[in-house]
Structures are given as structure tokens and as C-alpha cells.
Amino acid sequence: MPASISVKTDSRTEMLDITSSVQKEISKAGVQDGICVVYVPHTTAGITINEGADPDVCTDILTKLNELVPPNRAYRHTEGNADSHIKASLMGSSVTVIVENGRLVLGTWQKIFFCEFDGPRSRKVYIRF
């Protein structure tokens, strides 16, 4: 059974840094070396790795996604969240990170982000080592 973390979002679109939560699960499981897959089982949310030092990076990503895939267009999907599905597909549903000596192997500025496109909601993220 994979480990899981709960994520609560406060806005329709946002990016939340979940790196420390993922690292905590690695430490809890005692994983020293291997691969960590972080997976989002939601069709209107995604996951990505990007810069976590400057919050403007996330703002820029969300702004550009809204320009590319604006909400409230004449989409055929009639639940009012068609843009959320498209954005989730563009971001992807999983990332894979190397674990070495019990630590995520990420670049100096890299963080793992949960990407909400249809919030606010309570979500799950699964982690497998």
C-alpha cells in the first residue's frame, strides 16, 4: 500500500510545496536509496517539480496556464471545470525522484508542487518507494 498525504487547498488554482511532506514519508518508511513516485489520483489536479525559492515562479506558471486555458469558455464538458482537466493534463499526474541516503535528490532550487486547478478541496497524494 502506498503512503499518502492529505492536501487542503484554499483557492481554485494554486501550487502548494509538498516537498517536506514527501521527505517526511521517506524518513518514516526508512527508505535509504531508490526511487520515489509521487502520484495525484485526481483529474483536476496535477504535480510538478520546479523552482521553490521565488514564489513568483508559481504565480507565473498559474498565470500562463490561465492565459492558455481560460476558465468559462464554451467547452463541451459542462461541469464548469473543463479548464481544470486540461491544466491537470498539461502538468501531469506524477513525478519520479531519486532517493539517496534517505533524502530526495532535488536540485538546489527544486521543490515538488501539488497543483490545484478546481479548488478549494481536500485532496490525496500517493507516494510509493
pTM: 0.96
The answer to whether the beta carbons of residues 118 and 11 sit under 8 Å apart is no
Read off the C-alpha cell for 23. Answer: 521527505
In percent, the amount of the chain with pLDDT more than 70 equals: 100
**Tell me: the pLDDT tens digits for 85-94?**
999 999 999 9
**Tell me: the pLDDT tens digits for 36-51?**
999 999 999 999 999 9
Domain span holding position 8: 3-128
Read off the C-alpha cell for 59. Answer: 504565480
Among candidate residues 65, 62, 5, the one with its CA nearest the CA of residue 39: 5
- Reported as a pLDDT band with limits 50, 70 and 90, residue 72 is confident
The total number of structural domains that make up the chain: 1
Between strands 14-17 and 110-116, the pairing is antiparallel
CATH of the domain at 56: 2.60.120.460
Placement of cell 526508512 in the chain: 30
State the average pLDDT over residues 18-29: 98
